[in-house]
């Protein structure tokens, strides 16, 4: 059987460019049993505390403590309060000198 010439079809679809790399799948699957869920919650809760304790231990051995007490917002708030108190104290001292 003789074959005819191949039909050339015009490709109307253009390939769509990918927006970015495909997101990786989860490596750890969530537990299904209630006891395993409770254990997972505890582990998640205490893992950050363990990391902070380890960091404090290592930095104390090095000789300088780089971890700060409180969060960034708490430190900024405390700093702002301190600056406001100093400003009020300066203003009071200025008014007492002028009297």
6-42 pLDDT per residue, tens: 777 766 666 666 677 777 877 878 889 999 999 988 8
Tokens 């404090």, located at residue: 56
- CA distances in angstroms from 1 to 4, 7, 94, listed in the order given: 10, 17, 110
Mean pLDDT of the residues in the chain: 79
Top-confidence residue, 10 or 94: 94
Joined tokens for residue 86: 């100093």
Distance CA 58, CA 70 (A): 19
Distance CA 62, CA 30 (A): 38
87 pLDDT above the threshold of 80: yes
Report pTM: 0.30
* 63: region left, alpha or beta (phi > 0 left; psi from -120 to 50 alpha): left
């Amino acid at each position: 059987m003789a074959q005819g010439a191949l039909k050339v079809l015009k490709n109307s679809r253009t390939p769509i460019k990918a927006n970015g790399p495909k997101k990786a799948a989860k490596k750890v699957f969530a537990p299904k049993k209630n006891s395993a869920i409770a254990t997972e919650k505890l582990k998640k809760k205490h893992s950050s505390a363990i990391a902070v304790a380890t960091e404090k231990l290592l930095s104390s051995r090095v000789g300088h403590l780089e971890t700060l007490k409180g969060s960034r917002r708490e430190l900024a708030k405390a700093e702002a309060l301190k600056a406001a108190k100093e400003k009020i104290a300066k203003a009071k001292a200025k008014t007492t000198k002028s009297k």
